Amino acid sequence: MSKIKTAFFCQNCGYESAKWTGKCPACNQWNTFVEEKVQKELPLRQQGWKTEDARLPKTVHLTDVETMEEKRLLSPDNELNRVLGGGIVAGSLVLVGGEPGIGKSTLFLQVALLLKGVRTLYVSGEESEQQIKMRADRLQIQNEEFYLLTETSTQTIFQEIKKLEPQLVIIDSIQTLQSPLIESAPGSVSQIRETAAEMQRFAKETNTPVFLIGHITKDGSIAGPKILEHIVDTVLQFEGDQHYAYRILRTIKNRFGSTAELGIYEMTGAGLRQVSNPSEILISQRDDMLSGVAIAATIEGLRPMLVEVQALVTQSVYGTPQRTATGFDLRRLQLLLAVLEKRGGFHFGVKDVFLNIAGGLRVEDPSIDLAVLCALLSSYEDVGISHKVCFAGEVGLSGEIRAVNRIEQRIAEAEKLGFEKIFISRYNKKGLDFSKMNIEVVPLGRVDEVYRLLF
């Protein structure tokens, strides 16, 4: 029997060291090294997933490689199809992370049950068969091709896979799996790395799509070594606030599509409902004109959306004025306040400023600058902006309104939702045919022009 070797692994980034160290040299975190057993015997490596006709790899010339369109399985969930780039790619390995209790297991149980005619294996290492059956009963969806397995050993899982030959595999969760090749505990860096690698070999050799549901750490990153995100083809983040009914499925990495896409769901008693028109839920329905509210035309991925920006400007009681932003970059807010102070002569330096993007959404698109600026001015002057007006423009440091991309889609979305007027940058006018639009487009060049028109 060969000697078992041990090594120290950083539980934050997966860095390997021969001896214990207080501070990780890779990620600079303190007290994250844990000793784990490492098995180095080669014959054991062959006990993972291995097909009978596995051939040895050989070198090929680039010109000899035939390219073909990747096969995709279209699920009934259009939001999932969107974030995956047009459907589930055969042989892909998809990692999904999110807060506990946000609805990851519910979402993929629902997707698997809705896939009629696709033999699906749902492997759970966290819940019993009875718990999953109770959730399936609550979803009220029947599927004859759905199979359950409550197991954590990868060898047992692969034996069942060879018997069943599923067309889709869902693992809940990757942190509970344990490979006999590694002697450390489930959830450790070594186990996550080895089990993910085995699942990758299985997915690529059999052309079967595999979904891995993963836990996240307290700082929001996916638990385990960073190499886990490098191994998989796609990384999805399922996020939302426990106090809101809406959930967002966001693409972090995608080898088969765009990384700027997001899908929106509403959590209901009977599962997750797809939100096909997010603008309606992100804009509060109101009849009267309230100060400090402006509507921004933004784009997430390929999807245009209209979001409500709420601002509150009050006299500062304490010596240092407060600056609070929810769903918007605080440094960007301070930049816009400095532009208003310098270019417009508004004294925000003695005011408390609070900003909120309604609906629990976080927006990073710079095109909402103009809406943020108008919401701030509206609250400052205590004059309401009409709820039939929206804005799309980036604000520069000299007070100019800069052009934004895909302005036609933003205007079309505002027109579809019944808005009567949209303020844009005058540098976006090129190529726009105003005669075909049923919405008034107001091109502007500077911030002071906006102020004169609105207030």
Annotated binding-site residues for ATP read 98-105
Length of the chain: 455
Q: Which helix (H) or strand (E) holds 334?
A: helix 330-339
Q: Calculate the dihedral angle through the C-alpha atoms of 62, 65, 67, 70, rounding to the nearest 10 degrees.
A: -110
DSSP assignments along 126-149, one per residue: SS-HHHHHHHHHHHT---TTEEEE
With contact defined as beta carbons under 8 Å apart, do 421 and 377 qualify? no
The strand pairing partners of 323, in sequence order, are: 353
- What is the tally of helices (H) and strands (E) in the chain? 12, 23
Question: Alpha carbon of 227 to those of 55, 189, 252, 387: distances in Å?
Answer: 26, 10, 15, 48
Q: How far is CA 118 from CA 62, 74, 146, 444, in A?
A: 35, 11, 8, 54
> Which among 421, 390, 407, 394 is positioned nearest to 294, based on CA atoms?
390
| Sheet-wide strand order for 234-240 | 146-150, 120-124, 168-172, 210-214, 93-98, 234-240, 246-254, 262-268, 271-274
3-state secondary structure at position 264: strand
DSSP letter, residue 350 = G
One-letter amino acid identity for 115?
L
Distance between CA 12 and CA 329 in Å, rounded? 26
Residue 449 gets which letter from DSSP?
H
Cα torsion 207, 113, 102, 135: sign: negative
Residue tagged 């004109």 (tokens): 289
**Among 73, 86, 164, residue whose Cα is nearest residue 116:** 73
- Is-contact 49 201, C-beta < 8 A? yes
